[in-house]
Structure 1
Amino acid sequence: MSRRRQVYEGKAKVLYEGPEPGTLIQYFKDDATAFNNQKKGVITGKGVLNNRISEYLMIKLGEVGIPTHFIRRVNMREQLIKEVEIIPIEVVVRNVAAGSIAQRFKLEEGTPLPRSIVEYYYKSDELGDPMVTEEHITAFGWATYQEIDEILNLALRINDFLSGLFTGIGLRLIDFKVEFGRLWEDEDMRIVLADEISPDNCRLWDARTNEKLDKDRFRRDLGNVQEAYAEIARRLGILPEAGPRDLKGPETMQ
């Protein structure tokens, strides 16, 4: 395997230089973190499953007109993506009370919200990803009002499409977190969906039993995390033929 230069390493993924200018290779790790990196672990095969799940969902979103950074899957753990300028805002769309919103407003977990609620968080591990408003975002120059409008529109369209897709396979989309980036092509810029969409950043419950099939199984020590991710892949019809397996990661050029 040829040596490639590492561009960035996050909690769940590594980015390497791509084969062509304006591209990157996104490598999915098995590492798992929760509570702003306070809890750490390894879930064997998670990277393989998240790669396949995110590929599938990015393709489906692209088919309904959602622009994304995804180009194609390279292998079991890697994707070729377009290089974008990440907007440092995590966008959370909530349909049902769970996690922090249930705690903040003393709502019983599983309570449907009056309507889908969109929240913004500043991407900063050091600060604990604080919740921010549009005023913070524009005042600090993270995004313009026009970009926020585009992000909000895309987030709600993603929510509508994914809610229907998951309902069709017996799952409830409780909430999810997405990131967006600026894609520059010649002199034009557009906002595109970036990062990933997987059980790492979606809360997915079985529609009949409300069993959690996402990273909450890791956060809350519920066990069978890999099995839950595999169940999502199975329902989507994309479980790898050989099942999840550990693959040696690409070497890093110093």
Structure 2
Amino acid sequence: MARRRMVYEGKAKILYEGPEPGTLIQYFKDDATAFNAQKHDVIDGKGVLNNRISEHIMTALTSIGVPNHFIRRINMREQLIRACEIIPLEVVVRNVAAGSLSKRLGIEEGTPLPRPIIEFYYKDDALGDPMVTEEHIVAFNWASQQDIDDIISLALRVNDFLSGLFTGVGIRLVDFKIECGRIWDGDYQRIIVADEISPDSCRLWDIKTGQKLDKDVFRRDLGSLADAYTEVARRLGILPEGGNGKRGPKLVH
């Protein structure tokens, strides 16, 4: 196999140069991190599950007209994606109070919010990804006001879709994070959803029991992260019924 050129390595993924201009290969690692990588472990099979779950969601978003970087899955750990200029923001959509929102505002975790709340965080590990306002974003030229409007529109469409998708399989979408990028079609610029959408980037609670099925299992030492992610994949129909992941994820092709 020809040696590939690595473009970028993050905490959970590696990007390699793609086979064609304007493409990248996104490789999903088994690494699990929390608290800005202060807590770290390697969870066997996590990358496989996140690859397939993100593929499932991105494909569905494409089918309803939400633009994103996903092209196709290459294998169990890799996707072919469109290269884009990543906007240095994490876009968080909250439906239920949890995590930092509960801590900042003293709202009891699990409290439904009156409407979805969108927050922006500047992507900088050294600074701890600080929360920023639209004023900061425009002032420091991270994105234009039109970009922000497009990002908010995309984020709300993704929220509507994911809320319905997960409710249909007995899961509450508490909150989630997306990243966005810019692509150019000729002289025309578009904003698209990039990175991934998986239990790494969503808070997912069982509707009946409140059981956490996301990275909070790792953050808070609540049990097996692989089992939680496997349950999400099973409910979405990516794993066969009865698949428990005990011997590694057995995924439907």
TM-score tier (shorter): over 0.9
Q: Where does 1:192-203 land on structure 2 (aligned, <5 Å)?
A: 192-203=192-203
Q: Does 1:161 align with 2:165?
A: no
Contact 1:48 1:245 in 2 (8 A): no
What secondary structure does 2:125 align onto? coil
Structure 1 range deviating more: 200-209 or 33-42: 33-42
Tell me, yes or no, if structure 1 residue 127 matches structure 2 residue 144. no
Partner deviation per Cα, 1:120-153 (whole Å, 9 max, x = no partner): 0000000000000000000000000000000001
Letter in 2 for 1:226: A
Equivalent residue, structure 1, for 2:10:
10
Offset of 1:107 from its aligned partner? 1.2
- C-alpha distance in 2 between matches for 1:223 and 1:44: 14
Shift of 1:2: 2.0
Q: Aligned with 1:192: secondary structure?
A: strand
In structure 1, the residue corresponding to 2:127 is in which secondary structure? Answer: coil
Aligned to 2:87: 87
Whether the 8 Å CA contact 1:93–1:177 is kept in 2: the answer is: yes
Provide the residue aligned with 1:65 in structure 2. 65
1:185 corresponds in structure 2 to: 185
Q: Tell me the distance in 2 between the aligned counterparts of 1:65 and 1:148.
A: 19
Identify the residue that residue 141 of structure 1 maps to in structure 2. 141
Partner AA of 1:197 in structure 2: I
Question: In the TM superposition, what is the alpha-carbon distance from 1:216 to its structure 2 partner?
Answer: 0.1
Q: State the 1:245 CA deviation.
A: 4.4
TM-score (norm 2): 0.95
Partner deviation per Cα, 1:79-98 (whole Å, 9 max, x = no partner): 00000000000000000011
What is the Cα deviation at residue 242 of structure 1? 10
Could you say what secondary structure the match of 1:3 adopts? coil
Deviation at 1:187, TM superposition (A): 2.1
Alignment of 1:187-226 (within 5 A): 187-226=187-226
CA distance in 2, matches of 1:128, 1:189: 30
Structure 1 gaps of 5+ residues are 247-254
Aligned: 1:100 with 2:74: no
User: After superposition, what is the alpha-carbon deviation per residue over 1:164-212, rounded to whole angstroms, capped at 9, x for unaligned?
Assistant: 1100000000000000000123222100000000000000000100100
Structure 2 unpaired stretches of 5+: none
CA contact (8 A) 1:25 1:78 kept: yes
Amino acid at match of 2:124: S
Distance of 1:139 and 1:51 partners within structure 2: 36
Contact 2:231 2:244 in 1 (8 A): no
* C-alpha RMSD over aligned residues: 1.4
Q: Contact (CA 8 Å) 2:54, 2:196: kept in 1 or not?
A: yes
CA distance in 2, matches of 1:48, 1:221: 21
Pairing 1:228–2:228 present: yes
User: Matched residue of 1:178: which SS?
Assistant: strand
Counterpart of 2:116, as a letter, is: S
Provide the rounded CA distance (Å) in 1 between the counterparts of 2:160 and 2:248.
33
Paired residue secondary structure (1:4):
coil
The question of whether the paired residues in 2 share the 8 Å contact of 1:120 and 1:133 is answered with: yes
- Greater relative contact order (CA < 8 Å, ≥ 6 in sequence): 1
